[in-house]
């Protein structure tokens, strides 16, 4: 019998007399699963089962582990996110399962979480977690984050909260949350602040998000996800990058404008015919905080919005790209895609 099997057998004996709650952990790799290779580079290599084997869990939690991927999250694609969504939906359809936890790299955790949140309509929570320090680091934060995620997953107060990120003792609501620090253990932030916190086996919920179920995964195909690109604007930028992504087959665009969302004259002129042809284009800002706004003409955001672009509000380019991908992949027409995007942004950009 393996070491992990022996530990699970001991836990099974301890669980007698308790109301055991079942959580499925989907392991995808990331820093939490990373160790150094011969060159000293961190790569995802530790299995989800081994991560769980190192965790100390309450006796009333039973965990089933599946290895979905073994990738650092900068190598994940929107197709991988769609596959994750479909597996999450299958897992949560099991009446014995109370929640799903996903171990994931922090580089793109906000994007996978955002993608899941656009389709998630179950009362059962989905929780993403990971680490900022690799599994082999003596100060690794991964196992502590995983233990906290499982504690949050089985708490009755998290039912109906949707998709969450649990990290560094805090609970964050998706889709607003985004990575805010490259290396700090306090890796995430949100315009609305943390949803709650974890201390030991106790959790606190400070506020409850208003959830808006937006899209159906019925038409979503993981092997045919539409291409959506981000085009950044900066002083002196021409349309070279824009022309390239359109030629490459972009079905939608996110424009990361200057200031409150101002692309510049050349970009506005080049985007006008794409908008007229029905391409979904969302305008946001390269500034860290604040919402995009249609204020300026002569190459400013107001011109682009008049031509049909949608303001991205408080969301930033990586999040909005996922929104447009999900809408294009699940809607029947340019009109329904535009409606889905604008409805989501109208409902969620309220602060």
C-alpha dist (Å) from residue 251 to 49, 82, 279, 324: 39, 17, 7, 9
Q: Which residues contact 71 (CB under 8 A, 6 or more apart)?
A: 28, 29, 30, 44, 80, 105
Active-site option among 84, 103, 106, 129: 106
Q: Which residues contact 336 (CB under 8 A, 6 or more apart)?
A: none
The first and second tokens of residue 124, run together, are 């059962």
The first and second tokens of residue 151, run together, are 């504690």
Helices marked H in the chain: 3-14, 48-54, 78-92, 109-119, 142-154, 240-247, 265-276, 301-306, 317-330, 334-348
Question: CA-CA distance, 112 to 153, in Å (whole number)?
Answer: 18
C-alpha dist (Å) from residue 7 to 52, 62, 265: 10, 12, 64
Q: Which residues contact 181 (CB under 8 A, 6 or more apart)?
A: 187
The reply to whether 103 belongs to the active site is no
- Are the beta carbons of 195 and 249 closer than 8 angstroms? no
Active-site option among 28, 31, 112, 129: 31
Question: CA-CA distance, 299 to 220, in Å (whole number)?
Answer: 36
Binding-site residue set: 73, 106-107
Indicate the DSSP class of residue 262: B
Binding-site residue set for substrate: 73, 106-107
Indicate the DSSP class of residue 162: -
The reply to whether 106 belongs to the active site is yes
Catalytic residues: 31, 106
């Amino acid at each position: 019998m393996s070491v992990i099997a022996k530990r699970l057998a001991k836990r099974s004996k301890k669980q007698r007399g308790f109301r055991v709650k079942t959580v499925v952990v989907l392991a995808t790799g990331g820093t939490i699963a990373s160790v150094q290779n011969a060159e000293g580079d961190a790569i995802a290599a530790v299995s989800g089962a081994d991560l769980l084997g190192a965790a100390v869990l309450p006796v009333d939690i039973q965990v089933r582990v599946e290895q979905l991927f073994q990738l650092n999250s900068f190598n994940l694609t929107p197709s991988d996110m769609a596959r994750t969504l479909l597996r999450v939906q299958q897992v949560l359809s099991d009446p014995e399962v109370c929640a799903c936890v996903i171990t994931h790299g922090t580089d793109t955790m906000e994007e996978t979480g955002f993608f899941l949140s656009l389709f998630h309509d179950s009362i059962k929570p989905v929780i993403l977690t990971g680490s900022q320090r690799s599994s082999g680091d003596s100060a690794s934060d991964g196992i502590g984050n995983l233990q906290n995620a499982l504690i949050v997953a089985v708490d009755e107060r998290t039912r109906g909260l949707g998709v969450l990120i649990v990290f560094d003792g805090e609970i964050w609501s998706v889709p607003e949350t985004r990575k805010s620090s490259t290396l700090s253990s306090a890796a995430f932030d949100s315009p609305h602040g943390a949803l709650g916190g974890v201390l030991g086996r106790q959790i606190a919920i400070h506020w409850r998000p208003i959830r808006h179920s937006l899209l159906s995964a019925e038409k979503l195909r993981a092997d045919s996800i539409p291409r959506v690109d981000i085009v950044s604007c900066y002083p002196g930028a021409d349309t070279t990058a824009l022309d390239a992504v359109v030629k490459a087959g972009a079905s939608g665009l996110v424009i990361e404008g200057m200031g409150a969302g101002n692309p510049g004259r050349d970009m506005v002129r080049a985007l006008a015919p794409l908008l007229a042809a029905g391409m979904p284009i969302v305008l946001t800002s390269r500034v860290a905080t604040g919402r995009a706004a249609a204020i300026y003409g002569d190459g400013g955001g107001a011109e682009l919005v008049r031509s049909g672009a949608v303001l991205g509000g408080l969301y930033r380019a990586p999040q909005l790209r996922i929104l447009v991908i999900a809408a294009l992949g699940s809607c029947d027409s340019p009109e329904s895609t535009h409606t889905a995007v604008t409805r989501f942004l109208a409902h969620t950009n309220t602060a």
